[in-house]
Amino acid sequence: MAPGTLLEPHFDSAESRPLKKIKLSPAANAFTEDAENVAAAVPTHPLGIRPSGNAYTASENIKSRCGAFRRLPDELLNLILESFDADALVRLGSTCRALYAFTRFDELWRALFIESPPKDFVWHGTWRSTFLGIPQEHVTSISCKNLFSDVLHRPFQCANISLEAFTSRIPSQNAISRFPDLTREEFSEKWTDVPFILTSPVKEWPICGTWTPETLLKKYPDVKFRAEAVDWPMSKYMSYMANSSDESPLYLFDRAFVERTGIATGRDASDAAYWPPDCFGEDLFSVLGEQRPDCRWMIMGPKRSGSTFHKDPNATSAWNAILTGSKYWLMFPSSPSIAPPPGVILSGDQSEITSPLSIAEYLLTFHSLARRTPGCREGICYAGEVLHVPSGWFHLVLNLEDSLALTQNFVPQKRLADILSFLRDQRNQVSGFKEEIADQAYELFVEKLGEKHPEILEEGLKELERKQKKGRGKWEELTKHEGEEEGGGFSFGFGQNDDDAEVP
Ligand SMILES: O=C(O)CCC(=O)C(=O)O
Ligand SMILES: [Fe+2]
C-alpha cells in the first residue's frame, strides 16, 4: 500500500514497513548514495510537506482527515484535481490542511493558466498567484506538517536540489572536444559525426556581448515571443525568469525571432547580427528557399531550464551558440543497433521518445549510469561558444545559469544520405515543413538539390544505396544461424522501404 493511501483514519504504518534491507548491486548502491547525498541538501518544503516514506514512522498523518479523499492514492487524487476549475480548487482547498496542500500544487495552476490565459496579467511568482491575481505579499501559507506525499514533494525536491554533482567532474573520456575553430575541410573530413565546441566564431558576432536578456528587455519589452504553449511579451517572460521555481521552467523557444526583432543575418548581409560558423559549410536545405523546414530558434530560459532527451528533426545536424549563460550537454550517438540512452524508451518505429518528465528527475535517476555508458559525451558550453550536435545524436541540455542562445539546424554535405533516408523512409516523422508539402519533402528536396547541385545529389543517393546494402548485409549476418543455407531458414519480409536502411 502506498504511504499516501489511508484506508482508516488511524492506520498502523508498521504493517507496511519494509522488513529487510535489500542487498543492492554496487551500481545500484552508487545511485542510492548519489541520490541520498543530494536529497540531504534539499531545503524544507514551504508548506512542511515531506516525502511519503516518512509516513511509516510518523505518529500522525493529516491525510487521514480529508474524508473520502484519504482513500485515494496521491497520484489519483492529483489526477482528479486536474479536472477541477480554479473555483473548485480554491473551495476544496479550504476544507482541510491536506487538501489545502494538494490544491496548492502549482502544476495544477500552470495547466489552468495555459488552458485559458488571463488577457492581461502580472507575474506574481507562482502560477496560482498569477492566475488568481494575488500579489506575493498577500499570499497566505498554512503549515501542512505531517503530510507525506512524493507527488507533492518530489517536484519541489527536483526544483531545488543542487545539480552540480551531475554537471561537474566530467570523466576525461566523456569530455566533448573543444577547439578555437575548425576549417570546412576539417569539419567535413573528421567531425560531422562528432560533437565539439568551438570557442572563437561566436565571439565575432556583432550581437555577442550586446544581446543579453536585459538588452532584449530594453529593446523589445512588448514584442511577443513563443514560450512553449504561450506567446508572452519579453517583459512578462523576464519577470517569470527572475522569479519562479518550476521543476521544469517555461522555456522560450522562438522560431520567428529574426522577423520579430528585425535583424539581418548571414555573412553577406551588410549589417548582419550573426552568421553561421564558417566550418559547417553550405546548408543543403537552403536549396529549398521559402519551402525549407523551420531552422532557427532563439532560446532563453532561467537556470535549471533546458531540453529533455531528443534527437533533432529530420536527421539534421545543428549548432547551438550561447550569448549569455552556460549549458551542460549530455549526448549519445544513435543507430538501430545500439540501445537508446539509459532511461530513454523509444517506440517501435523510433518516432516517440519517452523519458522522465523533468531534467532534474532524469539526472537524479539515471545520470550515474548514463555517465558510464559507452558513447556518452558531456560538456559545458559557455557564453561566446558554439556546440555542434551531429545528425541523429540524442541530447539533453541543462542551463547552468539564466541563458540566451541561438540555434540553427542544417544539412552538411557529408550527412546528406542520412537526411535523404529520413525524408524518404520515415515520412510520418518529417516535421517543420509547411503542411501542404510535408509528405512530398523527399521528392521536393531531391528535385531542388538536383537543379542546384546535381553532383552532390548523385553522391548522396549513391551513399544512401551503399548504406542500405551494408545494412542488409549486417541484418542477414545477425539473423542467419550456423549451418543455414543462403536464402533458407528465417527471413524477415522487408519490402522496398527497408526500415533497417540506416544500419551502419
Ligand atoms: O539549448 C537547448 O536547450 C537545446 C536546444 C536543442 O537541443 C534544440 O533546439 O534542438
Ligand atoms: Fe536539439
Kindly report, residue by residue over 291-337, the tens digit of the pLDDT.
Answer: 999 999 999 999 999 999 999 999 999 999 999 999 999 999 998 88
Edge-first strand listing for the sheet containing 377-382: 306-310, 394-399, 326-332, 377-382
Residue 311 to residue 300: CA distance in whole angstroms: 20
Write down the pLDDT at residue 53.
96
For residues 265 and 268, give the distance between their C-alpha atoms in angstroms, rounded to a whole number: 8
Confidence at residue 326, expressed as pLDDT on a 0 to 100 scale? 98
- How many angstroms does the Cα of residue 477 sit away from the middle of ligand 1? 37
Lowest mean pLDDT among 38-52, 391-405, 448-462: 38-52
Report the pLDDT averaged over residues 54-80: 96
Round to whole Å and give the CA distance between 93 and 107.
Answer: 15
Do both 204 and 345 map to the same domain? yes
Does position 498 have pLDDT exceeding 70, yes or no? no
Instruction: Find the mean pLDDT for residues 44-70.
Output: 95
The percent of residues above 90 in pLDDT, for the chain, comes to: 77
Burial of 235 per CB tally in 10 Å (0-12, 13-18, 19+): middle
pLDDT, position 349:
73
Pair (125, 249) in one structural domain: no
Residue 109 scores a pLDDT above 60: yes
pLDDT of 470 > 80? The answer is: no
Residues with CB under 5 A from ligand 2 (ion): 312
Is the minimum distance from the CB of 306 to ligand 1 under 6 angstroms? Answer: yes
* Cα 171 to ligand 2 centroid, rounded to whole Å: 23
Best probe residue, ligand 1, of 295, 296, 307, 312 (max atoms within 8 Å of C-beta): 307
- Asked if 255 and 324 sit in the same domain, the reply is yes
CA distance 44 to 49: 8
Ligand 1 centroid to Cα of residue 217, in Å, is 22
Which atom belonging to ligand 1 lies closest to the Cα atom of 305?
3
Q: What is the mean pLDDT of the chain?
A: 87
Give the residue-averaged pLDDT of 76-81: 98
Largest CA distance in the chain: 80
Give the residue, by CA position, lying nearest to ligand 1 atom 5.
307
381 close to ligand 1 (CB < 6 Angstrom): no
Residue 16 Cα to ligand 1 middle (Å): 44
Q: Is 320 in the pocket of ligand 1 (CB under 6 A)?
A: yes
Separation of CA 26 and ligand 2 centre (Å): 33
Same domain membership, residue 271 and residue 131: no
Above 60 in pLDDT, residue 409? yes
Q: Is the pLDDT of residue 233 over 50?
A: yes
Whether 18 shows a pLDDT value over 50: the answer reads no
Q: What pLDDT does 490 receive?
A: 27
The pLDDT value given to residue 1: 42
Instruction: Give me the pLDDT at residue 107, please.
Output: 97
Are residue 146 and residue 249 in the same domain, yes or no?
no
Q: What is the distance of C-alpha 113 from the center of its chain?
A: 22
Pocket test for ligand 1, best of 252, 358, 407, 410 (most atoms within 8 A of CB): 407
pLDDT at residue 475, rounded to an integer: 52
For ligand 1, whether the C-beta of 397 sits within 6 Å is yes
State the pLDDT at residue 493. Answer: 26
Position 504 scores a pLDDT of: 28
For residue 251, give the ligand 1 atom closest to its CA: 3
Mean pLDDT of 15-40: 43
Asked whether residue 492 carries a pLDDT value surpassing 80, the answer given is no
Q: Is the pLDDT of residue 469 over 90?
A: no
Q: Which residue type does 366 have? A: F
CATH number at residue 279: 2.60.120.650
Q: Please report whether residue 454 resides in a domain.
A: no
pLDDT > 50? residue 10: no
Over range 44-58, report the average pLDDT. 96
Whether residue 1 lies inside any domain: the answer is no
Nearest of 335, 290, 295, 287 to residue 312 by alpha carbon: 295
**Model pLDDT, residue 337:** 87
- Is 9 in a helix, a strand, or coil? coil
pLDDT of 184 > 80? The answer is: yes
Question: Could you give the strand order of the β-sheet that contains 296-301, starting from the edge strand earlier in sequence?
Answer: 177-179, 196-198, 386-389, 317-324, 403-410, 296-301, 252-254, 224-227, 230-233
Question: How is residue 258 written as a grid cell?
Answer: 529574426
Pair (251, 152) in one structural domain: no
Has residue 451 been placed in a domain?
no
Residue 254 Cβ inside 6 Å of ligand 1? The answer reads no
Residue 162 pLDDT greater than 90, yes or no: yes
pLDDT at 94: 96
Do 129 and 179 fall within a single domain? no
Is residue 121 domain-shared with residue 180, that is, in the same domain?
Answer: no
Share of the chain above pLDDT 70, in %: 85
pLDDT at 230 over 90: yes
Residue whose cell numbers read 504504518: 13
Position 211 pLDDT exceeds 90: yes
Kindly state whether residues 348 and 391 are assigned to the same domain: yes
**Does pLDDT of 482 surpass 50?**
no
pLDDT of 352:
75
Domain boundary residue, one of 401, 429, 457: 429
**Predicted pLDDT at 348:** 75
Residue 390 CA to ligand 2 centre (angstroms): 10
In the predicted model, is pLDDT for residue 491 greater than 50? no
- 195 ligand 1 Cβ < 6 A: no
Position 503 in a domain: no
303 in a structural domain: yes
In a domain, 456, yes or no: no
**Does 299 fall in a domain?**
yes
Q: Which residue has the cell 519480409?
A: 493
Lowest-pLDDT range of 249-258, 387-396, 474-483: 474-483
Examine the fold and report which residue of 160, 188, 212 is the final residue of a domain before the chain moves on. Answer: 160
Mean pLDDT confidence for 42-55? 94
Specify if 33 maps to a domain: yes
Q: Tell whether the model's pLDDT for residue 15 goes beyond 60.
A: no
pLDDT higher than 90, residue 473? no
Q: Which domain holds residue 200?
A: 164-429
Mean pLDDT, range 449-462, rounded to an integer: 96
408 and 286 in one domain? Answer: yes
C-alpha span between 309 and 358 (Å, rounded)? 10
DSSP conformational letter for 310: E
Single pTM value for the model = 0.86
Domain boundary among 117, 143, 160: 160
Q: Please check whether residues 33 and 131 belong to one and the same domain.
A: yes
Do 67 and 176 lie in one domain? The reply is no
For the chain, what is the domain count? 2
Ligand 1 site, residue 299, Cβ cutoff 6 A? yes
